[in-house]
Chains A and B, each alone.
Chain A
Amino acid sequence: MSEKKYSKQHEWVTIEGDVATVGITAHAAEMLGDVVFVELPEKGKNVEKEGQAGVVESTKAASDVYTPITGEITDTNQSIVNDPGAVNKDPEGAAWFFKIKIKNKSELDKLMSKADYDKFAKENPN
């Protein structure tokens, strides 16, 4: 599996072959607070980079989840729909959101490394 990459919308991405796995960052989960509802895109749906691809709600508010990558949704993690609290427990592991068949690999180059993201998150807490 590739090195984890990060987006400015607070998503993380890992790559295996031509499939990317996407979730929200630990920082984003911390900012949201207790996650109580997750809505995921439908399998087979084509999504555009930085387009909306899900919703995550805490007791406080609803936030859109964006895809950092253009492509087709190949799989979604129903376990976080059934147990939204898992997003707070393991946001960058078991609580991945969706898998996506990558259309344009060059989009990956624009994403941040962990060090760059940590710096970005510190400067842009929300």
Chain B
Amino acid sequence: METQKTALYDYHKSLGAKFVPFAGYEMPVQYSSGIVDEHKLTRSSAGMFDVSHMGQLSIEGSEEIAIELEKIIPIDLRKIKLNQSKYSFLTNEEGGIHDDLIVTKVEKGFNIILNAACKNNDFKIISGSLKNKFKITLHENLSLLALQGPKSSQILEKIISGVSSLKFMNGNKFSYNGEEVYITRSGYTGEDGFEISISNKLAEDLAKKLISQNVKPIGLGARDTLRLEAGLCLYGHDINKSTSPIEANLKWAISKRRREEGGFVGYEKIKSDLNGSLSRLRVGIKPEGKIIAREGVKVFSDDGNKIGSITSGTFGPSVNGPIAMGYVKLNFSKPGTKVFLEVRGKKHEAKISELPFYKKRYVR
């Protein structure tokens, strides 16, 4: 399959981006100043991320959508308020995760943001489940720009008036150059920020305006270090088809009513995990020294038994040290538990850690 490019490809190039193939797209992994600088800049000021490779799906139709969608997404979609966003997932028959997503209630129905690598399969799952009752569209003509960092609000307010009054995990329609854009206050960095859904035609114009306000472009490299410090999962690594949301420590993303009532795909496994059959848990893991434990590294107990493995690991620029996430047997999941990580044949001491590694600064 030919690699795709986002509407901002040429603009990234002009900004000095280094590209990598990611989920079928040529995406900027970093710009000239490097991942560590980009990471720190996002934490101290504001960074712009092109996340147009992600899927932007809309479902339009009657009030009945919520009832139908609840069969595959385990949150309370009947009670979600207009313009409210929720993190959730598409579950599979085995109680695993097809994809994680953000669903937002809008006037005509729901908007869902999907992972790039999963979006076409998600579209099939969602349209298959909803039959032909509603209008389901995966919008290829829309770009998605994320603006993240403590200065995001004051900067974006200058360009699009009204955005600073949005609450975290809420969105609304705004106007930009005479065109309607949909903006949510959300992100994937542990910082305050926004995600702006805008036509491909206007995306570069907005990107340039942001850059002119001293916003720096940020690549996928820093996006990964930022999200890992914030303790957020990366689909295909920390969660996948065979991890249940309960194992993944994402119980909070299943509404209470849905945990009790079920009525969604994979509920049996999830219910049994909730009722004590849980055997492993996703945790934060902090190596004691400088060693970086990456995906696939085995985790051992103090007495030498294998108790799990790492699913994401890197150097956290704001933590100023190595950080990781992974799954360990339940009785080793308590923060502070001493474990060992086998890197290049040698075992290195580490501790189970609270998540996030870096404290979130969301505006509630």
Known: A59-B221, A60-B35. A37 touches B30 (CB 8 A): no
- A62–B39 CA distance with the chains assembled, in angstroms: 19
**Interface presence of A41 (CB below 8 A):** no
> B315 and A33: CB pair below 8 A?
no
> B344 and A37: CB pair below 8 A?
no
Question: Does more than half of chain A's interface fall in helix, strand or loop, or is it mixed?
Answer: mixed
Measured between beta carbons, the chain B residues less than 8 angstroms from A94 are none
Known: A55-B344, A60-B29. A34 touches B294 (CB 8 A): no
> A59 and B344: CB pair below 8 A?
no
| Distance in Å: Cβ of A39 to nearest Cβ of chain B | 8
Measured between beta carbons, the chain A residues less than 8 angstroms from B291 are 37
Interface string of B295-321 (1 = CB under 8 A from A): 000000000000000000011010000
Known: A33-B221, A36-B315, A55-B344. A62 touches B34 (CB 8 A): no
> A33 and B290: CB pair below 8 A?
no
Measured between beta carbons, the chain A residues less than 8 angstroms from B221 are 33, 59-60
| Distance in Å: Cβ of B27 to nearest Cβ of chain A | 13
Q: Which residue from chain A places its CB closest to the CB of B18 in the assembled complex?
A: A33
Measured between beta carbons, the chain A residues less than 8 angstroms from B116 are none
Q: How many chain A residues touch the partner (CB < 8 A)?
A: 16
> A34 and B292: CB pair below 8 A?
no
Within 8 A of A (CB), among B25-41: 29-30, 34-37, 39
Interface string of A46-67 (1 = CB under 8 A from B): 0000000001011111100000
**Interface presence of B322 (CB below 8 A):** yes
Measured between beta carbons, the chain A residues less than 8 angstroms from B224 are 59
> A34 and B290: CB pair below 8 A?
no
| Distance in Å: Cβ of B82 to nearest Cβ of chain A | 40
**Interface presence of B225 (CB below 8 A):** yes
> B322 and A34: CB pair below 8 A?
no
- A59–B40 CA distance with the chains assembled, in angstroms: 13
Interface string of A7-40 (1 = CB under 8 A from B): 0000000000000000000000000011011010
The contact sample of 27 A-B pairs, CB cut-off 8 A, is A33-B30, A33-B34, A33-B35, A34-B34, A34-B35, A34-B37, A36-B315, A37-B290, A37-B315, A39-B344, A55-B344, A57-B315, A59-B35, A59-B36, A59-B39, A59-B221, A59-B222, A59-B224, A59-B315, A59-B317, A60-B29, A60-B35, A60-B221, A62-B292, A62-B294, A81-B290, A85-B36
